Amino acid sequence: MTNTPDAPDALLSAEIPPPVTAPDLPALRRRIQAVLITSQILGGLGIAIGVALAAVLAKDVSGTEALSGLASTATVAGPALLAMPLAALMSNRGRRAGLVLAYLVGALGACVVVLGAVVDSFPLLLLGLVGFGAGSSANLAARFAAADLAEPERRARAISTVVWATTIGAVLGPNIAAPAGRSVAGLGIPATAGPFVWAAGVFLLAAALMAVLLRPDPLLTARALAGPADREEADGRSLRAGMRAVRESSRARLALVTVAASHTAMVSIMSMTPVALSHHGAGIELIGLVISGHIAGMYAFSPVMGWLSDRLGRLSVIGLAVGLLSVAALLAGTAGPSHGRTAVGLFVLGLGWSAGLVSGSALLTDSVPQAARAAVQGLSDFTMNTAAGIGGLMAGLVVAEAGYGWLNVVGACLLLPMAALAVRGAVRRA
């Protein structure tokens, strides 16, 4: 069997990376990072195009606004469901196979969404949204692919640069949703489903990009370059071995908790902020500006968080994440009718998420053996998405029963385990 893009099973086959020497590494790192950045832009664009009108489409198909919130729940469930199978695939076959599969699942999900809209089937629509959301698993996994060949002292910056690239697609996506809807006029497809037609095409383009250009595979190359002490047998790459690696490393546990707590606190507070703003008289345009500022905080400043994490250390930036997320909860939770205070709180919330994701992802990669990294990283993505999905569901109940202010109190409390483990880690290092 040849290992070329034209081979039937080439996309999912494990390649044997060509010999890479030390002088080759700088150019290889730059090329791999450029490919990953391009895929992040495409992946972010595909997700953002569809998400922009997902809730509206769900309302149109279901016939009731009460069920429209299930659209966001379905898109969050997708990456959680795909995280562990994707980790198992990448552990055995490399990053390229996993990233291609994730984008293909996203494209298939988008097609099912369109079919559900055409036949007016709400269950089919939700199933499609789960698959569509799973496409974002590729964007999450790409940050770890950037770390595979990075020098340890530049690992956080490599992760943060790929995370930053999502900003471009995330900003462009919602602005393309309207013309995407108009483009399907006369085809028997509802205008609100048009963005998913485009999303499917974008995901397919990203999959093709990964299949053709992500060579040699960064994870398999990193393993080939690892010293004898870091090389493990195949059973050392299993999901069970990944879980064992986390249990045996206090720093890996801290990293896992950091990523999960930061993501859950962010999603819980952010998801209900539009509701709180509308209760205080904010219109759609103002709500959009607040959320745009939040997204800018999440992605645009991630290179700063990467630089700080490499220069000051992972624990320092984890502490910064705790501080920023706590300040964000205080600002947003006490804002009341002050839209400006809420906007500042949401911007700081995005910064805190960025600090937690970048430093936690770098620390996780630092803390486990080379062979177990892909499995542990998949476990991290599964944990963060599952926790965030539960947090998003509970956020609505908390706001309904106690109010938006108390939701921010709960969000701040989620940070306590993260803070305690960070302090414990700092004390041990002292």
In sequence order, what are the residues at sequence separation of 6 or more whose Cβ sits closer than 8 angstroms to the Cβ of residue 245?
252, 368, 369, 372, 375, 376
Print the SS3 string covering the chain.
CCCCCCCCCHHHCCCCCCCCCHHHHHHHHHHHHHHHHHHHHHHHHHHHHHHHHHHHHHHHHHCCHHHCCHHHHHHHHHHHHHHHHHHHHHHHHCHHHHHHHHHHHHHHHHHHHHHHHHHCCHHHHHHHHHHHHHCHHHHHHHHHHHHHCCCHHHHHHHHHHHHHHHHHHHHHHHHHHHHHHHCCCCCCCCHHHHHHHHHHHHHHHHHHHHHHHCCCCHHHHHHHHCCCCCCCCHHHHCHHHHHHHHHHCHHHHHHHHHHHHHHHHHHHHHHHHHHHHHHCCCCHHHHHHHHHHHHHHHHCCHHHHHHHHHHHCHHHHHHHHHHHHHHHHHHHHCCCCCHHHHHHHHHHHHHHHHHHHHHHHHHHHHHCCHHHHHHHHHHHHHHHHHHHHHHHHHHHHHHHHCCHHHHHHHHHHCCHHHHHHHHHHHHHHC
| Tens digits of residue pLDDT in 101-124 | 999 999 999 999 999 999 999 999
| Tens digits of residue pLDDT in 216-236 | 999 999 888 876 555 555 555
- Radius of gyration, alpha carbons of the chain: 21
Instruction: Give the residue, 172 or 378, on which the prediction is more confident.
Output: 378
pLDDT for residue 15: 59
| Tens digits of residue pLDDT in 37-84 | 999 999 988 888 887 677 778 878 888 766 766 777 788 889 989 999
Q: Give CA–CA dist 32/224, Å, rounded.
A: 16
Percent of the chain having pLDDT more than 70? 90
pLDDT for residue 237: 64
Cα 216-222-227 angle, rounded to 5 deg: 140
Its pTM stands at 0.84
Mean pLDDT score of the chain, rounded to an integer?
87
For 275, counting Cβ atoms within 10 Å of its Cβ (0-12 exposed, 13-18 middle, 19+ buried), the class is middle
182-200 average pLDDT score: 89
359-387 average pLDDT score: 91
Are 194 and 183 a contacting pair, CB within 8 Å? Answer: yes
Poorest-pLDDT segment among 70-74, 185-189, 380-384: 70-74
Are 110 and 192 a contacting pair, CB within 8 Å? Answer: no
In sequence order, what are the residues at sequence separation of 6 or more whose Cβ sits closer than 8 angstroms to the Cβ of residue 281?
337
pLDDT for residue 228: 57
Q: Give CA–CA dist 244/246, Å, rounded.
A: 5
The residue type found at 322 is: V
For 92, counting Cβ atoms within 10 Å of its Cβ (0-12 exposed, 13-18 middle, 19+ buried), the class is middle
| Tens digits of residue pLDDT in 236-268 | 566 777 888 899 999 999 999 999 999 999 988
